[in-house]
Amino acid sequence: MASSNIFFIIAIVPVFAIPSSLATEFVVGDEKGWSLDFEYQAWAAGKEFRVGDKLVFRYTPGVHNVVRVNGVEFQRCEAVNNTDPLTTGNDVITLLTPGRKWYICSVPRHCAARNMKLNITVLSEVGSPFAAPGPIPGSQTPSSSTRGSAVFSFYGWIAFM
């Protein structure tokens, strides 16, 4: 009886650990980083952001910043909710909830005139019982297929055991 309890514990613990280990870290703008005159919406297109993933904003401290804003502030390129900007030059934001997220640089004219703004949609965590519906047929991205095969392989292995 004790051996079946141990097997159960060994089998169930990874089920809860795997979704967080599948989190992805996205360096915003890749090698270009968080900088002027970059097309962040094109960079975000085709990427699948999920709860638990991290956004890393890399830039020269004192030159730029990162401010999370709402949709109206994003459209106006104004942070009016007295949100303190992130200013380290290596700001890491963990995506904690699903839904739309908006980020801007609040240095004057950087958002409106120089395109320093990012708008993404965060999906539920992989394996969440509240996961968002799958992609539209024919629109699967490499990141979603890689994540899906990793989860399938792990859960398939557990079922095999």
H-assigned helices in the chain = 2-21, 40-44, 71-76, 142-160
Q: Which residue in the block uniquely carries the two structure tokens 């890399």?
A: 58
For the chain, the domains span: 25-123
CA distances from 113 to 63, 77, 81 (A): 15, 9, 21
25-123 is a CATH 3.40.50.720 domain: no
pTM over 0.85: no
pLDDT in tens, the chain (161 residues): 565 555 545 555 454 444 445 799 999 999 999 999 999 999 999 999 999 999 999 999 999 999 999 999 999 999 987 789 999 999 999 999 999 999 999 999 999 999 999 999 999 987 655 544 444 444 444 444 344 434 444 444 344 44
